[in-house]
Amino acid sequence: MDNQYISRKYITCASSFFLFFMIRILFSSLVSVFLLDQGYSALIVSIVSAIALVASFFAVPIIGKQTDIYGAKNASTLLLIISGLAGLVFAFSKNLLLTGILYCVVIICINTLHPIIEKQATQTDFNYGSVRIWGTLGNAVGTQLGGILYQYISPQSVYIAFAIASVITWQVLDKTSKKPKTSVRNDKSMQNKRSLKLPALFFLYVVVVFFFYAALDSKTLYLTAFLKESGFSVNGASTLLFFASLFEIPVVLFGGLLIDKLSSKLLVLSCLILLGIQLSIYAYFSSQSIIIIATLTINSVVSMLFIMINMKVINEIIDSNHQLTALTATTGVRSLAAVIGQTIGGRLIDLYSYCHFFILLSSFILLAILLTLVIKFPRRNNNLHLYT
């Protein structure tokens, strides 16, 4: 009976991760292509994205703070319902203002849920990799499903699927989330109402996060469009990104072994260098074979690595009562970084080429590397076993 209970609990937990990352990629992976195909310029796409990310910059940390105090269940339920409804209307919107508002709503919901879900992966009764791997598989399936729906059914069908899957995700998360005990919640509420004093190291690290995500999220927004420009079909690009997502699996299963053992400084530098290599290849090489290799081996790997590394850094420099606040704060900074990177980048694409776009993103990574070299991260904590 106990084994059956554990099995049901694992299936429910794994399903919640699979579904969330599937809906996340379903909505985001083809947005730039969807809007460009409707006749909007790259600059307009960047502005729509920028408005959503500015709103996220302010909204996500506030919601994260409340989640730290009162728990994740109510917040997750509300966010999933709102995002599903907004995504459904987004599919059929023909008005630019309404499209921008709906996109804004969905991005706020997804960006708030993401760090909450990632944090939960380190707090389950199961090994981090055995749970988080389902998020990777969900990401891969969502990428492929989006490409198939977009090319063979209709662009709108992608966002209809997103809305349906959001409702299913809500139902699964509702079974997964634990109701907090009143006494614990009240005690936690009192702790979080005290002043939150963040160390200076955190603010320096946030600048690194800013440059990293200015490059990563700008690249992600236009990656499918770039691949299409490079000669891939929409479904072909989605298939490539599907297989690239599968390269996350070794990182999820075994990356924690290295992340727990290595210093934060070395880990952050390694991640930055990998992304810099990918961006440089996109800027200077036109060969489809080289683009495919770079996308497969780096694209999803570097994104997943930084998520795991970021949680380690936050665990080392922020006390346990304020970690969700700090994680959602970095998500807010990520939004601001994407605004700047995508707005400037979209303009460069319109005026010049994708080559100039990727050179700009490479310069962001160079700045992040230089700053990381001078930051004094905490010494490796041998007692911190976040993933092992």
| 179 pLDDT tier (thresholds 50, 70, 90) | very low
CATH number for the domain that contains residue 344: 1.20.1250.20
Over residues 166-176, mean pLDDT: 78
**Mean pLDDT, the chain, as a whole number?**
82
> HSE of 292 in the Cβ direction (CA atoms, 13 Å)?
11
Q: What percent of the chain has pLDDT over 70?
A: 86
In a domain, 380, yes or no: no
Of the pLDDT bands very low, low, confident and very high (cuts 50, 70, 90), residue 360 is very high
Question: Does any domain span residue 184?
Answer: yes
Token pair of 363 as six digits: 């310069």
Confidence of residue 6 (pLDDT cuts 50, 70, 90): low
According to the model, what pLDDT value does residue 292 have?
94
Q: What is the pLDDT of residue 364?
A: 95
Nearest-angstrom CA–CA distance, 230 and 354: 10
Average pLDDT over residues 143-167: 89
- Measure Cα distances from 11 to 80, 114, 145, 173 in Å: 20, 20, 22, 12
Going by pLDDT thresholds of 50, 70 and 90, the confidence category of residue 89 is very high
pLDDT confidence tier of residue 193, bands split at 50, 70 and 90: very low
Asked if the model's pLDDT at residue 2 lies above 60, the reply is: no
pLDDT in the model for residue 385: 67
Q: Which carries the bigger pLDDT value, residue 236 or residue 359?
A: 359
Euclidean distance between CA atoms 322 and 179, whole angstroms: 20
Angle, CA of 31, 35 and 39, to the nearest 5°: 165
Name the nearest CA neighbour of 163 among 74, 77, 83, 79. Answer: 83
> How confident is the model over 234-254, as a mean pLDDT?
85
- pLDDT of residue 79 exceeding 50, the answer is yes
Q: Has residue 186 got a pLDDT over 50?
A: no
The whole-number pLDDT of residue 176 equals 60
- Expressed as residue numbers, the domain containing 186 is 10-374
Cα→Cα distances 79→46, 159, 331, Å: 24, 16, 16
Rounded percentage of the chain residues whose pLDDT exceeds 90: 24
Residue in the block written with tokens 């990293």: 212
Q: What is the mean pLDDT of residues 235-262?
A: 85
Position 173 in a domain: yes
Is 160 inside any structural domain? yes
pLDDT for res 239? 86
CA distance 329 to 307: 14
Residue with more model confidence, 163 or 195? 163
| Number of domains, the chain | 1
Q: Is the pLDDT of residue 294 over 80?
A: yes
Please name the helix (run of DSSP H) or strand (run of DSSP E) that holds residue 84, with its range, or none.
Answer: helix 73-92
Residue type at 23? I
Query: What is the pLDDT, as a whole number, of residue 282?
Result: 95
What are the tens digits of pLDDT across the range 371-385? Answer: 999 988 877 666 666
Instruction: Give whole-number Cα distances, 212 to 225, 227, 263, 381, in Å.
Output: 21, 21, 18, 24
Token pair of 309 as six digits: 């590394």
Amino acid found at 92: F
> pLDDT for 110-130, tens place per residue?
888 888 777 776 667 777 777
pLDDT computed for residue 161 by the predictor: 92
Report if residue 313 sits inside a domain: yes
Q: What is the pLDDT of residue 286?
A: 87
Asked if pLDDT for residue 184 goes beyond 90, the answer is no
From the list 171, 243, 227, 218, the residue with the least C-alpha distance to 23 is: 171
Whether pLDDT at 196 is above 80: no
CA angle 130, 303, 296 (to 5 degrees): 90
pTM: 0.74
Residue pair 77/373 in contact (Cβ under 8 Å)? The answer is: no
Q: What six digits make up the tokens of 18?
A: 């699979």
**CA–CA distance, 346 with 364 (Å, rounded to integer):** 15
What pLDDT score does 5 carry? 56
Q: Is the pLDDT of residue 97 over 50?
A: yes
Task: Give the pLDDT confidence score for residue 373 in this predicted structure.
Answer: 93
70 belongs to a structural domain:
yes
What average pLDDT does range 192-218 have in this prediction?
79
Q: Is residue 1 part of a domain?
A: no
- 180 vs 333: which has the higher pLDDT: 333
Q: The tokens of 23 are what?
A: 């809906």
| Residue 386 maps to a domain | no
Say which residue, 342 or 290, is predicted with more confidence: 290
- Amino acid (one-letter) located at 76: S
pLDDT value at residue 263: 87
